[in-house]
């Protein structure tokens, strides 16, 4: 996708309308409260705490930045994975590979037989054009992966699990394709983390889905998207750089896009699967994005807060040997 790249100074200096004028109607008191909160995080000093500005930097300004930000975390992922299994020389499949940029980044660090699986045919077509024969790409469904039984050493999934519409079925199929003793490595953000709604590029305050329903958030997001002062994320532009039709009007798509999996639901799901859980890690807040990270992490052990004060889960599952 092509887009004129804006630096953070440009974004900060652009004039902001106090009340966007468009054809979208705000419905109900809660939506007006949500819109006011958004405007506070855009127009006042609170913008320094905005999820888009602080936690994600300039990742939304161009696809180049977006991919670079994603790939920049591969060293961290590899350190996590290496505590469980060495990818070198293995047959490795990424579930939810998109255009293959993470899988390709792993290949630059280790030599292994790479398979990328994704449900989106357009992403797979782009991935094949980008990576050629370096990576084998297959089209998965919500419930299956077209790979033979007992043929893969490692399956991993990074920030995909929360999008699986049939998690039990697809994880059962992951178990099928793994060799005995093979590993499934899962990294994802559970529903109640600050970014759980996946709207940080337009709803600027943390935990919006805790305070408002998704219908309310989508109503406000659709309203803000039509604002002349809103700068859409790079993926909301087509290949010619034109802004796509308002994506937040398709509520059915958004409700299918997220499965709202919490830590509790994830643990309950694991108990129904034939895997052996060999590692389960809660990843708290870190880095410059959260100056109060240490304080927040200290409270994360309180049961009522553990679902909220978390960034990610990393879990390693193993298929039992015969």
What's residue 7's pLDDT? Answer: 36
Spatial distance between the Cα atoms of 181 and 7, rounded to a whole number of angstroms:
48
Confidence band of 21 (pLDDT split at 50, 70, 90)? low
Q: Are 289 and 321 in contact (CB under 8 A)?
A: no
| Beta-carbon contacts of residue 70 (< 8 Å; ≥ 6 apart) | 59, 101, 102
Instruction: Work out the average pLDDT over 143-171.
Output: 98
34: helix, coil or strand? helix
**What is the per-residue pLDDT across 95-128, written as a single tens digit (0 to 9) for each?**
999 999 999 999 999 999 999 999 999 999 999 9
Query: Which DSSP string corresponds to 198-251?
Result: S-TTTS-SS-HHHHS-HHHHHHHHHHHHTSTT----GGGB-TTSPBPS-GGG-H
- Please tell me the predicted confidence (pLDDT) of residue 66: 80
Instruction: Look up residue 130 and give its two tokens.
Output: 């980008």
Q: What is the mean pLDDT of residues 181-197?
A: 96
57-62 average pLDDT score: 66
* Lowest-pLDDT choice from 240-244, 270-274, 297-301: 297-301
Alpha carbon separation from 110 to 83, 135, 157, 277, 319 (Å, rounded): 15, 13, 17, 25, 23
The predicted structure's pLDDT at residue 14 = 35
Mean pLDDT for all residues in the chain = 85
DSSP result, 249-278: G-HHHHHHH-----HHHHHHHHTTSSPEEE
Parallel/antiparallel/unpaired status of strands 276-283 and 312-318: antiparallel
Confidence of residue 8 (pLDDT cuts 50, 70, 90): very low
What does the alpha-carbon distance between residue 80 and residue 297 come to, in Å, rounded to a whole number? 19
Who wins on pLDDT, 64 or 158?
158
Whether 152 and 114 have beta carbons less than 8 Å apart is answered as: no
| Range in 111-115, 199-203, 304-308 the model is least confident about | 304-308
Q: What is the pLDDT of residue 301?
A: 60
pLDDT, average across residues 138-149: 98
Residue 213 or residue 48, greater confidence? 213
Residue 252 has pLDDT above 70, yes or no: yes
What lies within 8 Å, CB to CB, of 11 at 6+ separation is: 53, 61, 231
Whether 168 shows a pLDDT value over 90: the answer reads yes
> With contact defined as beta carbons under 8 Å apart, do 12 and 57 qualify?
no
Superfamily of domain 74-192+259-318: Vaccinia Virus protein VP39 (3.40.50.150)
Distances (CA, A) of 89 to 79, 85, 133: 17, 11, 17
Helices (H), 134-213: 167-177, 208-211
Annotated domain spans of the chain: 8-67+196-257, 74-192+259-318
What average pLDDT does range 11-17 have in this prediction? 36
pTM of the model: 0.85
């Amino acid at each position: 996708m092509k887009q004129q790249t804006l630096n953070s100074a440009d974004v900060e200096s652009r004039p902001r309308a106090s009340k966007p004028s468009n054809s979208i109607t705000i419905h109900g008191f809660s939506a007006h409260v949500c819109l006011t909160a958004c405007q506070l995080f855009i127009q006042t000093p609170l913008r320094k705490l905005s999820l888009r500005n602080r936690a994600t930097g300039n990742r939304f300004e161009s696809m180049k930045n977006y991919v670079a930000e994603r790939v920049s975390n591969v060293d961290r992922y590899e350190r996590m994975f290496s505590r469980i299994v060495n990818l070198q020389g293995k047959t490795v499949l990424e579930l939810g590979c998109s255009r293959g940029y993470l899988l390709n980044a792993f290949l630059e660090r280790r030599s292994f037989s790479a398979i990328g699986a994704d449900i989106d045919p357009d992403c797979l077509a782009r991935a094949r054009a980008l990576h050629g024969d370096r990576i084998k790409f297959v089209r998965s469904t919500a419930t299956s992966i077209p790979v033979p039984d007992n043929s893969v050493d490692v399956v991993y999934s990074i920030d995909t699990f929360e999008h699986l519409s049939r998690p039990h079925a697809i994880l059962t199929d992951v178990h099928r394709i793994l060799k005995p003793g093979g590993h499934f490595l899962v990294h994802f953000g559970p529903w109640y983390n600050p970014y759980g709604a996946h709207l940080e590029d337009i709803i600027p305050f943390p935990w919006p889905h805790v305070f408002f329903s998704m219908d309310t958030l989508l109503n406000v997001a659709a309203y803000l998207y039509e604002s002349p002062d809103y700068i859409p994320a790079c993926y909301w532009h087509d290949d010619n750089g034109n802004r796509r039709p308002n994506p937040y009007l398709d509520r059915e798509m958004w409700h299918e896009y997220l499965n709202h999996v919490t830590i509790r639901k994830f643990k309950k799901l694991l108990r129904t699967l034939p895997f052996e859980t060999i590692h389960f890690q809660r990843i708290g807040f870190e880095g410059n994005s959260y100056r109060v990270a240490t304080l927040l992490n200290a409270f994360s052990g309180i049961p009522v807060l553990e679902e909220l004060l978390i960034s990610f889960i990393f879990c390693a599952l193993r298929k039992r040997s015969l």
